[in-house]
Structure 1
Amino acid sequence: MCPAVRTAELPEKVGVLVVGAGPTGLGAATRLHQHGLQDWLLIDKADEAGGLACTDETPEGFLFDMGGHVIFSHYQYFDELLDTAVGSGPDFWNTLQRVSYVWIKDRWVAYPFQNNISALPQEDQIRCLVGVAEAKVANAVAQGKPKDFDEWILRVMGSGIADLFMRPYNFKVWAYPTTAMQCEWLGERVATVDATRAITSVIQGKEDAGWGPNAVFRFPLEGGTGAIWKAVARLLPKDKQKYGEGYEIVSLDKDAKVATLTNGQSIQYDALISTIPLDITLRWLGQPKWADTLSHSSSHIIGIGIRGACPHGLKCWLYFPEDNCPFYRTTVFSHYAPKNCPAPNARLPTLCLGDGTETPGEQPQEGPYWSLMFEVSESELKPVNNATESFAGGSWAGVVRECVEGALATKLISAEDQIVSLYHRRLEHGYPTPSLARDGALEQALPWLRTAGIWSRGRFGSYKYEVGNQDHSLMLGVEAADNVLFGSKELTLTHPNIVNTKKNTELTYSAQTFLATHT
């Protein structure tokens, strides 16, 4: 891009620069626009809005999100904004009951696992119940808080559930051992064990499902999760948004308040709301010590499109703690919306069968179609097979093949199933790890950046997984914008336990409400 074009497209100085058009950046931009501020700009290195909440489409027409995203909310503001952007009601959204299971011991156990041990073999039921009883006694006399996530599991659930499910499953999710993680982040994220309910469940042999904030969720009828955020972006002025590789920030000068882009231009700002991963920002600014205390895992998203009728009924997402597959979670993505798959009359060739047998020269056939989306974590402690893959004939290997083999081993698919689409994408920053040293680093780094006019916010901008869902992420941006302009409190950032306790109705997506409270 030539200098003349760069100068025409971007201002040399802007009041508020927002970096990243995921939920947090869009939340910040939405709030700035709602306040009537004119002097702001949103930039993103991707070609369109969405960030980690985007959706990809395969050449065959299957949609896959970047993980198991669903819409449930702790905020009225979030609900109103999404209804304004996408539309309200059944013409725009599917509303689904969460139907989740754990595949273990060659059977489905209802989620949460710790409330449904009655489905296990008898010897495992005994092992788990003895552990629950021992934990209840030990926790009654324990001194102080658990020192890490592993000790929390043992105190709350006992060694039986810890060894059978919690330890192996959480290592597959986080790619770090539970002994390396703190437990302050837990809140509503992990169900505890009610000993009475656990024993009653075993005696009566009944499922005890439905726990959690997302027991009912909604999902857009078209376009996957990414369509939500593209719709939110359309509510904002086009001239305030810049997308593409040229708009990636490559360095920051915090003293001069200047961001330098890959297209060679620099932008001076008064305030920067950044969703760039905090560890990257800190290294740019000469703070490797803080950066090195922040851990993250990478995520591999693998999708398969299959011809035929889905055999999994109303199942939504499923958990896999054992080592017979590389994935920790699978989403029956076709269940969320019919348009996540090609139309039934679309004619597609078979790439391979469920047992991996390739089918060269296979003639295209019609559907119907269904799909599965797998998530695999990666870290230096948990490497992933990154062998080169080819999806359209020839040999294919690596984590994609391992996921297909794992799907067969866990009875998600059959050997005869016709796979018509294969998808794979790696996200370097997938999960921000609640490591033991995280909070100490955040308590120093975030205020230090704030004194330099940098609000580092979002799933990785503020590195708090406990407020890393889409609703939290949006509100981190909204509240950051209010803090920039008015010094308002950032409740989501500073008090995760409060915002996760009840619906937050103080902020609404309404200019009238804003004017009434700020005049």
Structure 2
Amino acid sequence: MLNYARQTLKRVPSFQELLQGTMGSAKEEISVDVLVIGAGPTGLGAAKRLNQIDGPSWLIVDSNEIPGGLASTDTTDEGFLYDVGGHVIFSHYKYFDDCINEALPNDDDWYTHQRISYVRCKGLWVPYPLQNNVSMLKKEDQVECIDGLINAALEARTNTTKPANFDEWILRQMGPGLANVFMRPYNYKVWAVPTTDMQYQWLGERVAAPDVKSVTKNVILGKTAGNWGPNATFRFPARDGTGGIWIAVAKTLPESKKRFGSNGTVTKVDADNKRVSLKDGTVVNYQKLVNTMAVDALVEKMGDQKLVDLSKGLFYSSTHVIGVGLRGERPERIGDKCWLYFPEDNCPFYRATIFSNYSPYNQPQKDAKLPTQQLGDGSAPSSKEAKEGPYWSIMLEVSESSKKPVDGANLLKDSIQGLINTEMIKPGDEIVSTYHRRFDHGYPTPSLEREGVLKQLLPALQAKDIWSRGRFGSWRYEVGNQDHSFMLGVEAADNIVNGAVELTLNYPDFVNGRQNTERRLVDGSQVFAKNKKAA
């Protein structure tokens, strides 16, 4: 727990500074109880909680001018919005709900959607999750999938060992039919590594394990399964994309305790002396550090070669986010679809989000006049004259790693062709805007080696009074959604100040369960309330 009995550190001038009278230009040196590095959801969660607790002094820094981290939103010159990947709001925590509702309190700040999601498989749109909707596949694929499911169910009676990896988990749960039709190719496209290289403990509520009786009954009756999963209903901010949530949350914090941009860029972490150097020359002395930058980047800035070598056992994929803005009424074939999955190799992307369906403000308004940049097939338009809309947009995600290289120079062109191949757009559709951005750290891979590394790395950092938390700070994808990430910061702050247990980090299966006890924001204090899982 944090000891508030501290002395404010003061800088002592050197003899030469006294002689030259340079004290006015000396570097700033400040001291806080808790320093938070990073203003994404995790860092803002820590800062929010520290701001509620009466006692510790704190400061949050980030190299970006705009908070949000990997939950931020970009806007193109033409006025199309694109998130850093596919984000929606669904929550396991009342505390999280309270905080974002405080930041965006009005009914018209949000849209609520029922998820309409499909898998593109062999020219068909199969309702998500595919493994629960085998009934919509072609007959030969139905037979192969059902045969595998039955054999897997029979073999499960005698299996006494745990699966060795994710691939073995798939085979035990679903059999080779579903593995080959969807699970193996799709997960390779997402993670950019084979399923044999991944553990299975990260799955939690993210992958539906099909019930062979229900699947068989639906095949016979020709029915589809109902909506599955925690995001069957989700919220999305009306304006400014997902990033608008975190900009609003940051505004609830005191300006004097935020340093964003060049004066918040960390250049060095001296863990032994508990000092962090910023790009503008400021030195921040701290007692406790909440780090939310990627942990491999943190140990590099620490210069701790032992921890650097240890962190090399952590793997990640990079993510390309591609946006395509189009003129015209939203096609009937697109309808109210939310996000779509693509396991096959006729397109480079693994997921497409119809981003214009989330909010009418995610694209320019109808009366905005934009020229056509190209047609869907890459040909030049007959006219470059700016014309009115309406407009709609698609956001695509492509993964990349050493085991799944990507032709970055041609990826935009290949993705647009992929949209044609999958019948998302037509060759003659008018494209008025394109967007492409690569994020080096996209997904923290739940590799076979991960737990062995984290069980050494995170305690070694905490022994130095560093709580490394967040999507890449603690490297656990199973608690990497926005609500999880925010609460990782909240719980780190509570652990530092009060010694409270960090449930999200240490018990991901518990917090992902439907019946759990949550923190709740009530007049800045912490109480406990029985969770009623938010829509």
TM range (shorter): over 0.9
Q: Whose Rg is larger?
A: 2
Change (3 A) 1:353 1:5: farther
The answer to whether structure 1 residue 370 and structure 2 residue 397 are counterparts is no
The correspondence of residues 7-22 of structure 1 with structure 2, limited to 5 A, is 7=27, 11-22=29-40
The correspondence of residues 277-316 of structure 1 with structure 2, limited to 5 A, is 277-283=294-300, 284-286=303-305, 287-311=307-331, 312-316=334-338
1:242 to 248, 253, 259: 259
Query: Structure 2 counterpart of 1:200, which letter?
Result: K
Provide the rounded CA distance (Å) in 1 between the counterparts of 2:516 and 2:38: 25
* C-alpha deviation, 1:322, in angstroms: 0.2
The answer to whether structure 1 residue 331 and structure 2 residue 343 are counterparts is no
Provide the rounded CA distance (Å) in 1 between the counterparts of 2:264 and 2:258: 10
TM-score under structure 2 normalisation? 0.91
Describe the SS at the equivalent of 1:506. Answer: strand
* C-alpha deviation, 1:503, in angstroms: 5.5
Describe the SS at the equivalent of 2:526. Answer: helix
Change (3 A) 1:37 1:418: farther
8 Å CA contact 2:290–2:466 kept in 1: the answer is: yes
Describe the SS at the equivalent of 1:64. Answer: strand
Provide the rounded CA distance (Å) in 2 between the counterparts of 1:105 and 1:181: 26
1:358 to 380, 388, 401: 380
* C-alpha deviation, 1:506, in angstroms: 3.3
8 Å CA contact 1:110–1:209 kept in 2: the answer is: no
> Which residue of structure 1 aligns with residue 474 of structure 2?
462
Describe the SS at the equivalent of 1:428. Answer: strand
Provide the rounded CA distance (Å) in 1 between the counterparts of 2:251 and 2:29: 21
Change (3 A) 1:291 1:216: same
Change (3 A) 1:449 1:420: same
* C-alpha deviation, 1:209, in angstroms: 3.4
* C-alpha deviation, 1:313, in angstroms: 1.0
Provide the rounded CA distance (Å) in 2 between the counterparts of 1:241 and 1:37: 18
Identity of aligned residues (%): 52
The answer to whether structure 1 residue 346 and structure 2 residue 375 are counterparts is no
The correspondence of residues 8-407 of structure 1 with structure 2, limited to 5 A, is 11-37=29-55, 39-89=57-107, 91-283=108-300, 284-286=303-305, 287-311=307-331, 312-359=334-381, 362-387=384-409, 398-407=410-419
* C-alpha deviation, 1:207, in angstroms: 1.3
Provide the rounded CA distance (Å) in 1 between the counterparts of 2:528 and 2:160: 49
5+ residue gaps in structure 1?
A: 388-397
Query: Structure 2 counterpart of 1:337, which letter?
Result: S
8 Å CA contact 1:480–1:490 kept in 2: the answer is: yes
* Shift >6 Å, 4+ stretches: 2-6
Provide the rounded CA distance (Å) in 1 between the counterparts of 2:512 and 2:26: 43
8 Å CA contact 2:518–2:528 kept in 1: the answer is: no
> Which residue of structure 1 aligns with residue 9 of structure 2?
none
> Which residue of structure 2 aligns with residue 394 of structure 1?
none
TM-score under structure 1 normalisation? 0.94
Change (3 A) 1:243 1:340: same
Query: Structure 1 counterpart of 2:352, which letter?
Result: T
Provide the rounded CA distance (Å) in 2 between the counterparts of 1:4 and 1:368: 57
8 Å CA contact 1:111–1:209 kept in 2: the answer is: no
Provide the rounded CA distance (Å) in 2 between the counterparts of 1:304 and 1:78: 32
Query: Structure 2 counterpart of 1:376, which letter?
Result: V
Provide the rounded CA distance (Å) in 2 between the counterparts of 1:364 and 1:239: 45
Provide the rounded CA distance (Å) in 2 between the counterparts of 1:278 and 1:319: 30
Describe the SS at the equivalent of 1:67. Answer: coil
* C-alpha deviation, 1:263, in angstroms: 2.5
8 Å CA contact 1:280–1:291 kept in 2: the answer is: no
Query: Structure 2 counterpart of 1:156, which letter?
Result: Q
Residues 50-94 of structure 1 deviation map (CA, whole Å, 9 limit, x = unaligned): 0000000000000000011000000000001111001143x1110
Matched pairs, number: 503
Describe the SS at the equivalent of 1:514. Answer: strand
Residues 213-233 of structure 1 deviation map (CA, whole Å, 9 limit, x = unaligned): 000000011110000000000
- Root-mean-square deviation (CA), in Å? 1.7
Larger CA deviation: 38-47 vs 241-250 = 241-250
Provide the rounded CA distance (Å) in 2 between the counterparts of 1:305 and 1:3: 54
8 Å CA contact 2:354–2:393 kept in 1: the answer is: yes
* C-alpha deviation, 1:36, in angstroms: 2.9
Provide the rounded CA distance (Å) in 1 between the counterparts of 2:485 and 2:175: 33
> Which residue of structure 2 aligns with residue 445 of structure 1?
457
8 Å CA contact 1:282–1:290 kept in 2: the answer is: no
Query: Structure 1 counterpart of 2:478, which letter?
Result: E
Provide the rounded CA distance (Å) in 2 between the counterparts of 1:484 and 1:360: 63
Residues 84-122 of structure 1 deviation map (CA, whole Å, 9 limit, x = unaligned): 001143x11100000000001011000000011111111
